[in-house]
Amino acid sequence: MAASTLTALRVLIRLSLATELQYRVNLLQSLIGGAAAQATQLLFIGVILTSFGAIGGWSASEVMLLVGLRMAAHAIYAFFFRRVIDNDRVVHTGEFDRYLLRPVPAFLQLLTRQFNLQQLGDIFIAAAVLGVAVRNASIDWTFGLALFCGASVIGGGLIEASLQTIRAAAAFRLANTDALIGTIDSLVGTYSNFPLQIFGGFASAFFTFAVPLAFIAWAPAAILLNRSADLGFPAEIAWSTPAFGPILMMLAVTVYHLESRHYSSPGS
Amino acid sequence: MIVAEHLVKQFHRRAVPDGPASRFRSLFAAREAVRAVDDISLAIDKGEIVGFLGPNGAGKSTTIKMLTGILVPTAGRVEVAGVVPWRHRRRNALNIGVVFGQRSQLWFDLPLRRSLEAIRDLYSVSAADYRNRMSQFDDLLDLGSFLDTPVRSLSLGQRIRGDLAAATLYRPPVLYLDEPTVGLDVVAKVALRDLITSLNVDGRTTVMLTTHDMDDVEQLCQRIMVIDGGKMLYEGDLKDLKRRFAPYRDLIVTPRSPSDADRIDSGLATRVSSPGAAKVTLRFDPQEVSAPEVIHSVSSQFEVSDISILDPQLEDVVRRLYGGNP
Amino acid sequence: MRAALRGTAAMVRLGAQSALHFRVNVGISVVGACLQAVLLIVVWRNVYANRQTVQGVGVDIAVQYAILSLAVAHLALPFRLSSLPERVRQGAIATDVIRPIGVTSQNLAHSVGEAAAALPGSVAVLIVGCALDGISAPRDLWAAGFFVLSVGLGLLMAWTMNLTVSMVAFWTTDTRGTFYIYRTLATFCSGAIVPLWFIPEWLAHMLNALPFRLQIFAPLEIWFGQVTYDHSKQLLIQQASWLAVLFLLLHLVARRALRVVVVNGG
């Protein structure tokens, strides 16, 4: 079964790459546009940091590390899982029919419906920002810490992917998920760049348990910067950040497949 | 091969109330359940070609989608080639081929060839089988002439032929065709029917066909099922259906001298053509009187230049069936 | 004239109905907007921590700015930027051409109606803001009056631009990328997240040349009484002129777009 799924994955990726290369102009446009959007986000952080200097007791270079981790995690999500945002369209046009008729997991077919070449731009920019941020922050690097850093980035990407997957699954029952997408995008986009201790009580709990933004970048950043006292929960939990992503993602994919049973194919 | 018992599919729809501020009130209106398929049972044996008929909105597509595993039934049991389609989706996928006339299953932006190669790999078709089947498709469907055209640029007829090739490339034992001939020209329809027949004869492929084209049904199907309002209206042999719902045959008579036209009659049959027509149509019940008897009675009284017998049109039969007045 | 007005009103109504039809969506947008309002208030109060003013802006002003700009931005940049791409895909645009009012004004009226679905969210944000003690009265009635006018003009500018951007749907089937980029740029440049007071001067010069800041930042400047009457009037005139330019641009883009439809349909 695993072998056949791998074959399927290879076939699907080959197809999506071929599709993508059909539209070269589109590709160039989205590469430039993506870079512009990233630059805007950096500007936003930059403006806040130059005006306020420090946020929640974290210096500008410390916040930049947080931002770097967050961008790297986002790049992981964007490169591998970005297409989950297409789910509402796939469901409402009936393209999902095709996914159900092929001997390949539906979720895999969704992810590979287009190859995310333009997200390569995200990866380069995120790597650059993280690289600069790591150099400027004072971190006592050990092998274990480096491993933790890398695993956290992947885990963070999976957390964002799992949130988007669950919201994608809502499209099987809701006719319109625009507001849900907008809310999640603006929550993740805006607030995961802040050191969450500034929120205090209620909002911190919200971001730790309800929408676990805390583990996308804030908790790993606190570990790397030796600031786990700011977390408001035991450092052991922060250390286990890399495990949360895969667990949440597995849950999300299960929810996705369960919800897909409510799919009501258009035109029936 | 295909078994369904007491199949039900229920959808929810918001009720729109009448009266003032109805739009606003509809925001809070309760949703009502609509049964698209209401207790349908059917069984199709291996190697059968079954026509699945019904007026628009009868629940044909919904039923097909439950049989293929696209929709999960609200209630009832489905089994196709020993597999419950929606539960073991991937195992089921290997057993079935599906063509929707309205919606392509192919990769829209890529040349048709790329889609077929992908299907080959996804369904583990060997290189030799692939070559053989492609050359068969080329013979029957003239696929070679548009293999390298992107699917989005194909004409409707080419696209359907491409879809049919994709659905049968891996020789699934079960084939579902949902209105495959809609909008096709005569040549394309014939090509499609030829391929279906050859798959059915050579490979014992079980075929379930929904269509509004009665020629498709008459030329392909041994058995038909008719549904309406989500319920099974009729199920059985094509000949039986005609016998039951159109219990007559027509004798068309052309008299040698046109002046006879208005006088031709037979005590055994009823005249149904209008006065003044050059050809006279006499309708009779084959249960009560045989065709030779009617022919004899006419030709013994008048000089006739041509005489022929017409079976009832399936089109008429089905119209009467939908109308509910057998 | 009367017929055109009636037709336009019908399009506005149609837009509102189609947007309000998705009631779960409306509900989520209200909840989402409230959540954001709460979070923004908390963020600004905590970012300020013990500082009195930053670059001459006190914490109360910053919080109030955040609430008001969220309420306006919720209308100006709704979660569903436009239903145009959907309607292009369904081929509904071809039938727009045969209706008795101009295609541009038809679609603009439709987007205005759609924005109505965002109104509950905006109102909810204001209620949350008042409940959390984040809003105070404007300096005087003049400021309030000018503010309302200016918000109206700003929204019309925003909706015209949204529709213009949505026209890419005629050329490409996937509009998400374009929408995402436009939304990010518009949010930042209009001052919807960060008040433009905090922007360094070189950047402020760039933003002054763009129409975005007139959509959200300018009305709020008037509300806070930070500009003189004369300057307020000047801002309104600027808005009106930009609106004319943007409408012309929309018209030009729409004409080219319709040509694309005709070519594809032929």
**Kind of pairing, strands B49-53 and B75-80?**
unpaired
Contact yes or no for B158/B115 (Cβ under 8 A): no
Question: Does B27 lie at the interface with C, CB-CB under 8 angstroms?
Answer: yes
B99 and B72 in a single domain? The answer is: yes
Contact yes or no for B190/B157 (Cβ under 8 A): no
Q: HSE-up of B259 (CA within 13 Å, CB side)?
A: 0
- According to the model, what pLDDT value does residue B24 have? 55
Closest Cα in chain C, distance from residue B23 (Å): 7
Residue B206: strand pairing partners: B174
pLDDT tens digits for C16-44? 777 777 778 788 888 988 988 888 888 88
Question: Does A200 lie at the interface with C, CB-CB under 8 angstroms?
Answer: yes
Mean pLDDT, residues B100-110:
82
Residue B241 lies in a domain: no
- According to the model, what pLDDT value does residue B163 have? 92
Nearest 5 degrees, angle CA A95-CA A96-CA A102?
A: 105
Residue B245: strand pairing partners: none
Residue B35 lies in a domain: yes
- According to the model, what pLDDT value does residue A260 have? 92
Please give the share of chain B, as a percent, with pLDDT higher than 90.
Answer: 27
Question: Does C172 lie at the interface with B, CB-CB under 8 angstroms?
Answer: no
Of A229 and A150, more confident = A150
- Is there a contact between C200 and A50 if contact means CB atoms under 8 Å apart? yes
pLDDT tens digits for A199-211? 777 777 888 877 8
Is the pLDDT confidence value at B324 over 70?
Answer: no
Q: Which residue of A has its CA nearest to B87?
A: A261
Q: How far apart, in whole angstroms, are the C-alpha atoms of residue C4 and residue C14?
A: 15
- H, E, C per residue of C75-120: HHCCCCCCCHHHHHHCCCHHHHCCCCCCHHHHHHHHHHHHHHHHHH
- Is there a contact between B23 and C20 if contact means CB atoms under 8 Å apart? yes
Q: Is B125 left (phi over 0), alpha (psi -120 to 50) or beta?
A: beta
Contact yes or no for B26/B14 (Cβ under 8 A): yes
- According to the model, what pLDDT value does residue B168 have? 92
Contact yes or no for B283/B269 (Cβ under 8 A): yes
Q: How many CB pairs under 8 A join A and B?
A: 76
B222 and B314 in a single domain? The answer is: no
pLDDT tens digits for A19-64? 777 666 666 766 777 777 777 778 888 888 888 888 888 888 999 9
Q: How far apart, in whole angstroms, are the C-alpha atoms of residue B321 and residue B233?
A: 8
pLDDT tens digits for A150-199? 999 999 999 999 999 998 999 998 877 778 877 887 787 778 888 888 87
- What is the three-class DSSP state of C139? coil
Q: How far apart, in whole angstroms, are the C-alpha atoms of residue A37 and residue A189?
A: 11
Mean pLDDT, residues B94-115:
86
* Domain residue limits, chain C: 2-259
| Burial classification of residue C127, based on how many CB atoms lie within 10 Å of its CB (0-12 exposed, 13-18 middle, 19 or more buried) | middle
- According to the model, what pLDDT value does residue C266 have? 31
Q: How many CB pairs under 8 A join A and C?
A: 106
Is the pLDDT confidence value at A82 over 90?
Answer: no
Residue A267 lies in a domain: no
Is the pLDDT confidence value at B25 over 60?
Answer: no
Instruction: Name the pLDDT band for A246 (thresholds 50, 70, 90).
Output: very high
Mean pLDDT, residues B73-90:
91
Tell me the pLDDT of chain C averaged across its residues: 83
- Is there a contact between A100 and B68 if contact means CB atoms under 8 Å apart? yes
Least confident of A151-155, B208-212, C98-102: C98-102
Question: Does B13 lie at the interface with C, CB-CB under 8 angstroms?
Answer: no
Contact yes or no for C249/C162 (Cβ under 8 A): no
Q: Is B224 left (phi over 0), alpha (psi -120 to 50) or beta?
A: beta
Please give the share of chain B, as a percent, with pLDDT higher than 70.
Answer: 93
Q: How far apart, in whole angstroms, are the C-alpha atoms of residue C171 and residue C260?
A: 8
Instruction: Name the pLDDT band for C93 (thresholds 50, 70, 90).
Output: low
In chain A, residues with a C-beta closer than 8 Å to the C-beta of C179 are: none
Residues of chain C that touch chain A, judged by Cβ-Cβ distance less than 8 Å: 22, 24-26, 28-29, 31-32, 35-36, 38-39, 42-43, 46-47, 49, 51, 54-55, 79-80, 89, 172, 174, 176-178, 180-181, 184-185, 188, 193-194, 198-200, 203
Distance of CA A256 to CAs A106, A109, A163, A248, A266, Å? 9, 13, 11, 12, 19
Instruction: Name the pLDDT band for B20 (thresholds 50, 70, 90).
Output: low
- Is there a contact between C28 and A183 if contact means CB atoms under 8 Å apart? yes
B143 sits in which H/E element: none
pLDDT tens digits for B172-192? 999 999 988 887 888 888 888
pLDDT tens digits for C140-199? 788 889 999 999 999 999 999 999 998 888 887 667 778 878 888 898 899 887 888 888
Is this complex's ipTM strictly greater than 0.95?
no
C38 sits in which H/E element: helix C23-48
Tell me the pLDDT of chain A averaged across its residues: 85
Question: Does B90 lie at the interface with C, CB-CB under 8 angstroms?
Answer: no
Question: How much of chain B is helix, strand and coil, in % rounded to 5?
Answer: 40, 30, 35
Distance of CA C57 to CAs A45, A212, C191, C208, C226, Å? 18, 32, 15, 20, 11
Please give the share of chain C, as a percent, with pLDDT higher than 90.
Answer: 26
DSSP C142-161: HHHHHHHHHHHHHHHHHHHH
- Is there a contact between B71 and A18 if contact means CB atoms under 8 Å apart? no
**Kind of pairing, strands B49-53 and B206-210?**
parallel
Identify the domain containing residue A31 by its residue range: 2-262
Residue A178 lies in a domain: yes
Mean pLDDT, residues B310-321:
73
In chain C, residues with a C-beta closer than 8 Å to the C-beta of A44 are: 188, 193-194
Q: How far apart, in whole angstroms, are the C-alpha atoms of residue B313 and residue B317?
A: 6
- Is there a contact between C79 and A51 if contact means CB atoms under 8 Å apart? no
Is the pLDDT confidence value at C106 over 90?
Answer: no
B261 and B172 in a single domain? The answer is: no
- According to the model, what pLDDT value does residue A46 have? 85
Please name the residues between 30 and 89 in chain B that touch chain C, using a CB distance below 8 Å. none
B184 and B96 in a single domain? The answer is: yes
- According to the model, what pLDDT value does residue A244 have? 93
B166 and B300 in a single domain? The answer is: no
Closest Cα in chain C, distance from residue B183 (Å): 18
In chain B, residues with a C-beta closer than 8 Å to the C-beta of A90 are: none
pLDDT tens digits for C118-144? 888 999 999 999 998 888 877 778 888
B272 and B219 in a single domain? The answer is: no
Is the pLDDT confidence value at B16 over 70?
Answer: no
Q: Is B36 left (phi over 0), alpha (psi -120 to 50) or beta?
A: alpha
pLDDT tens digits for C184-241? 889 889 988 788 888 888 888 888 889 999 999 999 989 887 788 888 889 999 999 9
Q: How far apart, in whole angstroms, are the C-alpha atoms of residue A249 and residue A158?
A: 6
Instruction: Name the pLDDT band for B29 (thresholds 50, 70, 90).
Output: low
- Is there a contact between A43 and C203 if contact means CB atoms under 8 Å apart? yes
Least confident of B101-115, B198-212, C76-90: C76-90
Distance of CA C186 to CAs C192, C212, C217, Å? 8, 6, 12
DSSP B39-103: EEEEEE-TT-EEEEE--TTSSHHHHHHHHHTSS--SEEEEEETTB-TTTSHHHHHHHEEEEESSS
Q: Which of A103, A105, A267 sits opposite B102 (nearest CB)?
A: A267
Report the domain count for chain B.
2
pLDDT tens digits for A124-154? 888 999 999 988 888 888 999 999 999 999 9
Nearest 5 degrees, angle CA A142-CA A145-CA A146?
A: 90
B33 and B182 in a single domain? The answer is: yes
Q: How far apart, in whole angstroms, are the C-alpha atoms of residue C166 and residue C193?
A: 23
Q: Which residue of B has its CA nearest to C23?
A: B27
Across A234-248, b (16+ Cβ under 10 Å) vs e yields: eeeebeebbebbeeb
Provide the Cα torsion A175, A181, A182, A185; round to 10°: 180
In chain B, residues with a C-beta closer than 8 Å to the C-beta of A264 are: 11, 71
Question: Does A172 lie at the interface with C, CB-CB under 8 angstroms?
Answer: no
Distance of CA A162 to CAs A77, A90, A100, A119, B274, Å? 9, 18, 21, 18, 73
B29 and B176 in a single domain? The answer is: yes
Q: Which residue of B has its CA nearest to A103?
A: B90
Instruction: Name the pLDDT band for C263 (thresholds 50, 70, 90).
Output: very low
Is the pLDDT confidence value at B22 over 70?
Answer: no
**CATH number where B47 lies:** 3.40.50.300
B71 and B108 in a single domain? The answer is: yes
- What is the three-class DSSP state of A223? helix
Is the pLDDT confidence value at B55 over 60?
Answer: yes
Report the neighbours of C using a cutoff of 3 or more CB pairs below 8 angstroms.
A, B
Report the domain count for chain A.
1
Identify the domain containing residue B113 by its residue range: 2-236
C229-265 and C103-115 helices, crossing angle to 10°: 120
- According to the model, what pLDDT value does residue B280 have? 84
B302 and B232 in a single domain? The answer is: no
Helical H runs in chain A?
2-21, 24-52, 60-81, 87-93, 95-101, 106-111, 119-136, 143-169, 178-191, 201-205, 218-224, 235-239, 241-259
Tell me the pLDDT of chain B averaged across its residues: 84
- Is there a contact between B36 and A15 if contact means CB atoms under 8 Å apart? no
Residue with the two structure tokens 């922007």: C199
B183 and B279 in a single domain? The answer is: no
B71 and B214 in a single domain? The answer is: yes
- According to the model, what pLDDT value does residue C90 have? 66
Residues of chain B that touch chain A, judged by Cβ-Cβ distance less than 8 Å: 11, 36, 61-62, 65, 68-72, 86, 89-91, 93-94, 96, 98, 100, 102-103, 105, 107, 109-110, 114, 118, 121-124, 150
**CATH number where B303 lies:** 3.30.70
